[in-house]
């Protein structure tokens, strides 16, 4: 859970993959807006910067 205005940086190597689903709320992932029930594949980046635009619940899987 991220409260509105909070952010977190999730470190990955460019060879790793992650999948993020917004259960509720609105966020930005690396500057891109993501809304409720949207999913995001995170690939080929060293890190994902996740910022909450409103109180948000997230589910993230690091797929290796």
Any bridge partners for residue 26, and if so which?
Answer: none
Please classify residue 13 by burial: count the beta carbons closer than 10 Å to its beta carbon, then call 0-12 exposed, 13-18 middle and 19+ buried: exposed
| pLDDT tens sequence across 19-48 | 999 999 999 999 999 999 999 999 999 999
Phi first, then psi, for residue 26 (nearest 5°) are: -135, 140
pLDDT of residue 10: 95
Query: Is residue 13's pLDDT more than 90?
Result: no
Counted residue by residue, the chain has a size of 64
pLDDT of residue 22: 98
For residue 16, what are the CA distances in angstroms to 8, 34, 46, 50, 61?
18, 21, 9, 17, 11
pLDDT of residue 64: 84
Query: Is residue 4's pLDDT more than 90?
Result: yes
pTM equals 0.90
């Amino acid at each position: 859970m991220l409260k509105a205005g909070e952010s977190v940086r999730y470190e990955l190597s460019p060879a790793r993959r992650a999948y993020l689903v917004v259960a509720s709320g609105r966020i930005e992932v690396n500057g891109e807006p993501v809304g409720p029930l949207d999913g995001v594949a995170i690939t080929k980046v060293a890190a994902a910067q996740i910022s909450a635009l409103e109180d948000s619940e997230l589910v993230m899987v690091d797929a290796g």
